[in-house]
Every structure is written in structure tokens, then in C-alpha cells.
Amino acid sequence: MTKEEFQKQVIPMGDKLYRVAFRLLGNSETAKDVLQESFLKLWEKRHELSDIISIDAFACTVLKNKCLDKLRQQREMVDIDVLKTLGNNPEATFDHHEKIAEIRKLIQMLPEKQKMIIQMRDIDCCSFEEIAILADTTANNVRVQLCIARKWIKEELIKVYNYGIPSD
């Protein structure tokens, strides 16, 4: 793809991509940064774009992945903030770390789609509609998958905290 073709086919998608990024990230400046990173990635892959059937869909996927990366970075900062609110109580800090580690371990055991949905909803605080767009499904399906995932995690946590002894 030449520079002119890139300017005619990819650059005009900027407004649409910006709106998606803004909706996912909730911050204008961050959305602009992610859009620029996405354009840079598309430019680097410009020679492969002619083989892609839907450049629009590919651009949205690149943008979505960049947004998810940005949300993951923000999530890591939230964990540090939570630890600060626990104060100087080493027991509470240890318990908090143990609970989070167990939940993360259980999330990793979920099917990919449920893992993505629970990550985006409960950790990244995305709306059902945003998740539905990124997961290529409906908001109702997102709710159902989230409910199934949460129920499974709850059951597994009960098993862990009951030391494997079934409750009657």
C-alpha cells in the first residue's frame, strides 16, 4: 500500500476509530494517543493491508487491542492504590494479596470469552455495550457469560476457603 492509498483508505477512519477509543477509555487525550499508536501500527503493516479483506475491521481490531493494553496499564495502578488504602496492616495486606491471587488464578482457568468479559467488566469497568462491541456479541450474551463466570468463580472460591470440604 502506498502513502496515497493509506491516506485515502485508512486516515478517513480516524473519526470512527477515535469515537470507539473514547468510548472504551473515557478520556479524550488517552483516546487520541491510542488512535495515533494504532495509525502507527497500521502504517508499519501497510504492505500487508492490501491482502486484508476488510481494512476497517482490521483497524478496529488494532485499536481495540491498543485500548485493552492501555486499560491493563491503568488496572495495575489501581491495585497499588488499593494497597495504600489498607494502611500499615501487614495481615490485611497479605490477606488481600492472597484473595486477589486466587481470583486471578481462577479467572485464568475460564474459557477465553468469559475470561475476556470478566476482565473487561469487573477489572477494567467497561460497560456491557462496550464489551459486546469488542467481543462481537450482544449485551445480553455478555451479561449471561458474566453471570456464568462469576458463579463458577464463586463456587471455586467456596471450595478453596472450605478447604475442599463440601458444604451441606
10-48 pLDDT tens trace: 899 898 899 888 888 888 898 999 999 999 999 998 888
Grid cell listed for 5: 492509498
Residue 80 lies in a domain: no
Q: State whether 69 and 25 are in the same domain.
A: yes
Nearest CA to 71 out of 16, 28, 126 is that of 126
Q: State whether 91 and 166 are in the same domain.
A: yes
pTM: 0.47
Check residue 167 and report its DSSP letter: P
Grid cell listed for 99: 484473595
Q: Containing domain of residue 114, as a range?
A: 86-168
pLDDT at 140: 93
pLDDT at 138: 92
pLDDT at 40: 92
Q: State whether 65 and 13 are in the same domain.
A: yes
Residue 2 confidence class, pLDDT cut points 50, 70, 90 = confident
pLDDT at 87: 58
Residue 81 lies in a domain: no
Domain limit, last residue, from 40, 75, 110: 75
Report which of residues 72 and 159 the model is more confident about. Answer: 159
Q: State whether 69 and 6 are in the same domain.
A: yes
Q: State whether 168 and 90 are in the same domain.
A: yes
pLDDT at 68: 84
Q: State whether 54 and 95 are in the same domain.
A: no
- Residue 162 φ/ψ region, left for φ over 0, alpha for ψ in the -120 to 50 degree band, beta for the rest: alpha
Residue 165 lies in a domain: yes
Query: For all residues of the chain together, what is the average pLDDT?
Result: 82
Nearest CA to 4 out of 62, 60, 12, 56 is that of 12
* CATH number of residue 157's parent domain: 1.10.10.10
Those residues whose C-beta lies under 8 Å from the C-beta of residue 131, and which sit 6 or more positions away, are: 117, 120, 121, 139, 142
The 8 Å CB, 24+ separation contacts for 18-27 are 20/60, 20/63, 20/64, 20/67, 20/133, 21/63, 21/66, 21/67, 23/130, 24/64, 24/67, 24/71, 24/126, 24/130, 24/134, 25/67, 25/70, 25/71
Report which of residues 30 and 92 the model is more confident about. Answer: 30
Domain limit, last residue, from 19, 51, 75: 75
